[in-house]
Amino acid sequence: MVCQSKFVGGLGFKSLAHFNQAMLAKQAWRILKYPNPLLSSILKARYFSHTSILDVGPGHSPSYSWRSILWGRDLMKQGLIWKVGNGNTVRTIEDHWLPDFRIKSYSSPPPSDILNVPISGNNCQDDLFWSRNNSGLFSVKTAYRLTLTSRDIPSSSSFRQSKHFWSRIWSSSAPPKVRHLVWRVLSSSIPVASSLFHRRIIPSPICPICHMKWETVEHTILECSGAKKAWKHSQFFDFYVRNKRLNIYDFIVQAIDLYDKYNVYSPPTGCWKINTDAGIRNTAKKHSLGIVVRDDCDNIKAGLIVPIVGLVPPEVAEAKAILTALSWLQATKLPVTVL
Ligand SMILES: [Zn+2]
C-alpha cells in the first residue's frame, strides 16, 4: 500500500519488484526493436526462432534470465500499440491498435474511434510503438508507472480513493506529521485494539481505556470517554461537538478544511484578524455561525458560536456570520483590523 501513489492513498515509495519488472520490460523492448545484436539473435535462435517475442511462451526448461525477460515482456505488451501502415501484420481482433480498447466484435458498425485512428498509408509497414510516451519510445519511468496503474485506478467510486480527495489532504497547510496521521487513520494503519486483535497480536479488541466497546479508529478519536475528555479541554471542542456524528473520514475532511481556512492567511504583524464560518445541519434543521479572533502569532484571542434553529441557504448563513461578527466587534471593541 505504501508503494501506491500519494494521490490514491499510498505514500509514494518505490516498489522494487515493480521497478525490476519495468527494467526487464526494457530488455524485452530492445529484443523487439533491435533484433540483430548478438544477445537478441541468440535468444531468438534459442527460444522463438519461428515466432515473435510478443507471442512466445516460456518453452521447454527456460533459463531464469529468459523467464525474467518474459515477465518484463508481459508488462511491455500492455503498453504497446500498433501504428497501422499497410495492415499486413496487425491482427484486427487480437492486437492493440485502438488507443483505448480492443475490438471484441464486428456485430455493430465500427465506432468513430476506428475512423479516427491515424494510418501511415499503404506503402508503409505496420510498426509497434510505446503508447505511454509521446515519442513512442520505451522508457523505464513510464513502464514503472504502468505497473502501478492497475492498482492506482480506484476500485470503486469511493471518495477516499479519489485523486481529488488525496490531493486535498496532501496539499493541506497542516504540518507533515498531521498529514501523515490523517493518512494512517484513513488507511487503517493505527494500531488500535480491534486491528491488533484481528491480526492475533492481542487477545481482546475491547478498548483498554473505557472497557465499553471495540477500540476502532473511530472509537479512539471520536467516541471513547478518554477522547471526549481530551476534546473538551482543547480549543477545538466546538468543532468536535458540531461534527462528532460524522463518520471518521468526513470528520477529518471537515477538520482539514477548517484548518486551512484559518491558517492559510495569518494576520499581518501587529494586527488582529477575525474569521467567520457557518455550518448547516439539515437533519437537525439548524444552522450555526462561528467567529474566531486571532493575533498575528495565530493565538486565539476570542471566539463566538451562535446556534440558530431553522435552515437557510449556505450563502445566507455565511452572510449572517459576517454580519454577526461585525455587530459583535462593535459591541466588544476588540482591536481587529482584518476581516
Ligand atoms: Zn474507549
Residue range 198-240, pLDDT digits in tens: 888 888 889 999 998 889 888 999 999 999 999 988 878 888 9
Interval between CA 264 and ligand 1 midpoint (Å): 34
Q: What is the per-residue pLDDT across 57-82, written as a single tens digit (0 to 9) for each?
A: 777 777 888 888 988 998 898 888 88
Interval between CA 270 and ligand 1 midpoint (Å): 44
pLDDT band at 85 (very low <50, low <70, confident <90, very high): confident
Interval between CA 243 and ligand 1 midpoint (Å): 19
The values of phi and psi at residue 75, to 5°, are -70, -45
Interval between CA 172 and ligand 1 midpoint (Å): 29
Interval between CA 227 and ligand 1 midpoint (Å): 8
CA 218 to the chain's CA centroid: 21
Interval between CA 231 and ligand 1 midpoint (Å): 14
The full 3-state SS of 263-320, as one line of letters, equals: HCCCCCCCCEEEEEEEEEECCCCEEEEEEEEECCCCCEEEEEEEEEECCCCHHHHHHH
Interval between CA 266 and ligand 1 midpoint (Å): 37
Looking at residue 94, the DSSP 8-state letter turns out to be T
pLDDT over 70 for what percent of the chain? 83
Mean pLDDT of the chain: 80
Interval between CA 228 and ligand 1 midpoint (Å): 10
Interval between CA 230 and ligand 1 midpoint (Å): 12
- pLDDT tops 50 at residue 138: yes
Which run of H or E residues covers position 130? strand 127-130
Interval between CA 189 and ligand 1 midpoint (Å): 18
Q: How far apart are the first and last CA of the chain?
A: 43
Interval between CA 246 and ligand 1 midpoint (Å): 18
Interval between CA 214 and ligand 1 midpoint (Å): 7
Interval between CA 280 and ligand 1 midpoint (Å): 29
Interval between CA 292 and ligand 1 midpoint (Å): 31
Interval between CA 221 and ligand 1 midpoint (Å): 9
Q: What is the per-residue pLDDT across 143-186, written as a single tens digit (0 to 9) for each?
A: 988 887 644 433 333 445 566 778 888 888 888 888 888 888 87
Residue written as cell 513502464? Answer: 143
Which residues, including other chains, have CB under 8 Å from residue 207's CB and lie 6 or more apart?
193, 213, 214, 215, 219, 220, 224
Interval between CA 190 and ligand 1 midpoint (Å): 15
Interval between CA 215 and ligand 1 midpoint (Å): 6
Interval between CA 2 and ligand 1 midpoint (Å): 29
- pLDDT tops 90 at residue 25: yes
CA angle 276, 282, 283 (to 5 degrees): 130
Interval between CA 247 and ligand 1 midpoint (Å): 17
Which run of H or E residues covers position 252? helix 248-263
Interval between CA 191 and ligand 1 midpoint (Å): 14
| Closest to 339 in 3D by CA, of 255, 253, 260, 274 | 274
Given a contact cutoff of 8 angstroms between Cβ atoms, the answer to whether 13 and 173 are in contact is: no
Interval between CA 159 and ligand 1 midpoint (Å): 28
Highest mean pLDDT pick, 117-131, 149-163, 250-264, 277-291:
277-291
Which run of H or E residues covers position 197? helix 193-198
Cα distances (Å, whole numbers) of residue 226 to 193, 221, 229, 234, 259: 15, 9, 5, 13, 23
In a 10 Å sphere around its CB, with 0-12 CB exposed, 13-18 middle and 19+ buried, how is residue 277 labelled?
A: middle
For residues 210 and 302, give the distance between their C-alpha atoms in angstroms, rounded to a whole number.
34
Interval between CA 244 and ligand 1 midpoint (Å): 15
Q: Which amino acid is at 147?
A: T
Residue-wise burial string across 190-222, b where 16 or more C-beta atoms lie within 10 A, e elsewhere? eebbbbebeeeebeebbbeeeeeeebbbbbbbb
CA angle 57, 32, 36 (to 5 degrees): 115
- Helices 140-152 and 16-33 cross at an angle (nearest 10°) of 130
Looking at residue 220, the DSSP 8-state letter turns out to be I
Interval between CA 216 and ligand 1 midpoint (Å): 9
| Closest to 76 in 3D by CA, of 59, 60, 52 | 52
